[in-house]
Amino acid sequence: MIDFSRINEAALRQIRPILERWLPDGRAEGNEYVALNPRRADRHRGSFRINLVSGKWADFATGDRGGDLISLAAYLGRLDQAAAARSVADMLGIPADAR
């Protein structure tokens, strides 16, 4: 069984380096990370935002959104939630399964 909560908590502690890796064109603006959305022909920063405290994200141009970094990984990588959680856990060097 995948421990989504533990993975998300660990990811939140590393949110800036994770976002800089996944979305290298982005930048922090207050409590948000603003980047171009690589899933569409986005040419201007502003509509794709990730909250640096909660990990919630949204593309206000398309309505795509999620509540944490695992859902963002799933969205960016076109993965299901389980595969995204395993990918994030692997990137962080932690086990994905509940202990």
d(CA 3, CA 36): 30
Q: Is residue 87 part of a domain?
A: yes
Q: pLDDT tens-digit profile of 2-22? A: 999 999 999 999 999 999 999
Predicted model pTM: 0.92
Domain containing 45: what range?
Answer: 4-92
Instruction: Tally the domains of the chain.
Output: 1
Residue 98 falls within a domain, yes or no? Answer: no
In angstroms, the CA 84 to CA 69 distance is 9
Helix then strand then coil, % of the chain, to nearest 5: 40, 20, 40
**Residue 86 covered by a domain:** yes
In a domain, 85, yes or no: yes
| Structure confidence by residue, pLDDT tens digits, 59-80 | 999 999 999 999 999 999 999 9
Whether 99 is in a domain gets the answer: no
User: Which stretch of DSSP H or E encloses residue 64?
Assistant: strand 64-66
Residue 69, in any domain of the structure: yes
Are residues 88 and 73 in contact, defined by beta-carbon separation less than 8 angstroms?
A: yes
